[in-house]
Structure 1
Amino acid sequence: MSSLVYLVATSLDGFIAAPDGDFTPLVVGDEHLAGLAADYPETFPAPMREALGIGAPNRAFGTVLMGARTYQVPGAVPSPYPHLRQVVFSSRALDVPDEVEVVDGDAVAHVRRLKADADGGDLWLCGGAHLAGQLCDEIDRLVLKISPVVLGSGLPLFAGVDPRPRGFRPRGQVDYDNGVRVVTYDRV
């Protein structure tokens, strides 16, 4: 059975982007990129993999899950992760290449089916806030790239989640010189 891993950059105050969806305030330098490339080379989009010379095979994930706003980041290529199965959740029609699957419907049921497919590797939820909120109870692991900035408002890690506690326990953390801290939590 595959696991659902929410690996995402966040601010100190728990926002994955500014109110307009801009995540560039979370980019505080590249000192942590080598560590991420070693552990999760598949999380770099194809143009960035090429620019950084990342040729490593996928290590953790076989599928990437995105909300429509994450998929349609300005300047993004139509197939950002051709080395992964790409699934975009959207209630509106999107113009996507054949290798990008668009799901309009029950995200939880779809993710449960994907998790049952054990030979596909783990599932990487790379964004957005509303999709993370829908899938909150399906997330098995959190990997938070915490940038040393406070945004004050914006898109939260989880949007629209019903207010009840969910437990995670720390699994490990790595601190980088640029102030980025990567913290991993497993569901309790």
Structure 2
Amino acid sequence: MRKLVYYIASTLDGFLAGPDGGDPSGPGGFWSIAEDYLTYVIAAYPETLPGPARDALSVTAEGTRFDTVLEGRRSYEVGIEAGITDAYPHLRHLVFSRTLGESPDPGVEIVATDPVARVRELKQEEGKDLWLAGGGELAGSLYSEIDTLIVKLNPTTIGAGVPLFSRQAAFDPVAWSLTDHKILDSGTAFLTYERVTDTVVVTDED
């Protein structure tokens, strides 16, 4: 079965973007992309680079992990505001929104139905894993369906912003097992966790 993988950049204090929800690595953002970070992503996760970046860097590798990317409306609109209607033309691209209506790009599928039900359908299909690219609201809605977390932990704190999971996520403690890690000289840590159990039992003796 295909896995839903939340592959996302986060600050040390658990935010994936500033209060305005803009691209943290874009103009005026708080995260500058180090050379070793870019080199590692190109080698390990080339399919997660947006199409314009792949073109600029002459990256043609399909990648071995993902063939489908899932985004929420606000995350998708960051690209729209930059004039990009499909940031990942090399992947199957689904955007979850009940308000967007018709897709602005033939390569992008708008999903207005229940995210959990749609993801469960996608997991049953043949193919590589599903990449949950953000944002926090969609991740909150799909909290129960996430099988793997790959957190690109940025050595920065910002104090406030868009959290890794929105408040739509129900209180449901889950245990995760660290299965891989890569620490870059620039300070970013790539941490891979696999879901261990759906429930963590906390007792007075713990």
TM bucket, shorter chain: over 0.9
Is 1:70 aligned to residue 70 of structure 2? Answer: no
Large movers: runs of 4+ above 3 Å: none
- 2:63 match: secondary structure: coil
More RCO (CA 8 Å, sep 6+)? 1
Deviation, structure 1 residue 38: 1.2
Query: How many angstroms apart in 1 are the aligned matches of 2:188 and 2:116?
Result: 31
Deviations 1:79-123 (A, max 9, x none): 111111000001112552111000112000000000100x22110
- 1:62 match: secondary structure: strand
1:28-39 mapped onto 2 (5 Å cutoff): 28-39=33-44
Aligned to 1:120: 127
Residue type of the alignment partner of 1:182: F
Structure 1 contact 9–144 (Cα < 8 Å) conserved: yes
Structure 1 contact 11–26 (Cα < 8 Å) conserved: no
Deviation, structure 1 residue 125: 0.3
Query: How many angstroms apart in 2 are the aligned matches of 1:59 and 1:41?
Result: 9
Structure 1: state its 5+ residue gaps.
none
1:1-150 mapped onto 2 (5 Å cutoff): 1-22=1-22, 23=24, 24-73=29-78, 74-75=81-82, 77-94=84-101, 95-117=103-125, 119-150=126-157
Deviations 1:142-187 (A, max 9, x none): 0000111101111110002111201111011111111111100001
Deviation, structure 1 residue 28: 4.5
- 1:179 match: secondary structure: coil
Deviation, structure 1 residue 27: 3.2
Query: How many angstroms apart in 2 are the aligned matches of 1:183 and 1:149?
Result: 16
Deviations 1:33-77 (A, max 9, x none): 111111111000110001112111231111000001111113151
Supply the RMSD in Å over aligned alpha carbons. 1.2
* Structure 1 stretch displaced more, 91-100 or 62-71: 91-100
Identity of paired residues, percent?
43
Query: How many angstroms apart in 2 are the aligned matches of 1:144 and 1:120?
Result: 23
Query: How many angstroms apart in 2 are the aligned matches of 1:55 and 1:93?
Result: 31
Residue type of the alignment partner of 2:186: N
Residue type of the alignment partner of 1:99: G
TM-score w.r.t. the length of structure 2 is: 0.87
Is 1:187 aligned to residue 195 of structure 2? Answer: yes
- 1:31 match: secondary structure: helix
* Structure 1 stretch displaced more, 168-177 or 4-13: 168-177
